[in-house]
Amino acid sequence: MRFLTNPSTDPWFNMSFDEYCLEQYASDDNFFYLWRNRPSVIIGLNQNAFSEVNLPFLEERGIALARRVTGGGAVYHDLQNLNYTLIGRDVSPRPVVEALRCLGVDAELTGRNDIFVGGRKVSGYARRLWRDRQIVHGTLMYDVDLETLSRALDVPGSKLASKGVASVRSRVANLKDELPQYPSLDALQAALQGILSAGDAPLPFGEERLAEVRRISAAKFSTWDWIYGQSRKADLVHTAQLPCGTVEARISLDRGILIGLEFGGDFLGALPASLLAARLTGLRFEREMLRGALTAVEVGDYFDGTSADGLQDLLFGS
């Protein structure tokens, strides 16, 4: 199978690369490419970023958040995870499974868009149809930091209900344990590349195409409107012990906009907290925007002894 080369580890560029190759890269034959992302969480097209991802943890660790053009659940990537993309007519992840089998791994497809080895998940994949072509892309976990994966996709105590697709958690495993003959992901990638390409030549992808991918990344895939603004309706509850007492924030979001906010708890304040909630309702649920709104008022009038930063941390579950 012919192939492209994509050395980028930028998740927004790589989501753009996928869309460009599906919709604009002309090829009569099916083709593939292998690629990696720096530490990032990639959510599905129909998911809610606020209820599917531990956003404070991502911010603390500098982990990127991106949204792809295919459905399915949230996945964690780092540089010890290898991604594959196949594009064409009637493509499937079966060549990847067969390549793993050639390397001695007892891999099998499951009914829920996963690849399992020994009863544990090593790959999740998703697909999208565009005109007469389709894309299938997925992960291959080689030596992924499983603790970081678990924390990045865990939203402790914050989700009440959300519309959209929820991620399905499975027992996961790394392929490194199954492939001791490959001491690094580079070595495994080279082996898979050779099997999948079967000697076929690479396809061209010049600077003009790269410039267009970068343009799409900047205009779409790296924007707040795409990553957060596509999120379906969600209801969250965050609770914290603040200087004024225990405060519970009940938050309703739609397309990333704060459409409802109620405060409850045993806290003290000179002014009704509902007045502050009304000031915040209708704003984009984004740190800088809410920080501006909170610093424009005296938060301590509503929550005794509480700063704007403290109330903002409550709202975002930090």
Residue 281 near residue 261 (C-beta atoms within 8 A): yes
Q: Read off the pLDDT of each residue in 276-285 and give the average, rounded to a whole number.
A: 95
Does residue 3 come out as left (phi exceeding 0), alpha (psi in the -120 to 50 range) or beta?
Answer: beta
Domain locations along the chain:
2-227, 234-315
Highest mean pLDDT, choosing among 14-18, 50-54, 142-146, 158-162: 14-18
Residue 174 confidence (pLDDT) above 70? yes
Measured distance between the N- and C-terminal CA atoms of the chain, rounded to whole angstroms: 47
Amino acid at 198: A
Per-residue confidence band for 154, with pLDDT thresholds at 50, 70 and 90: confident
Q: Rounded mean pLDDT of 90-117? A: 91
Q: Check residue 160 and give its pLDDT.
A: 39
Whether 16 and 216 have beta carbons less than 8 Å apart is answered as yes
Residue 310 structure tokens:
């403290």
Predicted confidence at residue 48, as pLDDT, reads: 87
Average pLDDT over the chain, rounded to whole? 91
Backbone phi, psi, residue 41, to 5°: -110, 130
pLDDT (tens digit, 9 = 90+) per residue, 223-255? 999 999 988 888 889 999 999 999 999 999 998
Residue 299 has pLDDT above 60, yes or no: yes
**Coil/strand/helix, residue 301:** helix
Q: What percent of the chain has pLDDT over 90?
A: 75
List C-alpha distances in Å: 10 to 138, 140, 198: 16, 17, 28
pLDDT at 72: 87
Helix (H) or strand (E) holding 116: strand 114-117
Could you tell me which residues come within 8 angstroms of residue 112 by beta carbon, excluding any fewer than 6 positions away?
Answer: 168
CB contact at 8 A, 314 and 238 = yes
Three-state secondary structure call for residue 296: coil
Determine the number of helices (DSSP H) and then strands (DSSP E) in the chain. Answer: 11, 14
Band of the pLDDT at 162, cuts 50, 70, 90?
A: very low
CATH number of 234-315: 3.30.390.50
Interatomic CA distance for residues 313 and 318, integer angstroms: 5
User: Which pLDDT value is given to residue 280?
Assistant: 96
CATH 3.40.50.11270 fits 2-227, yes or no: no
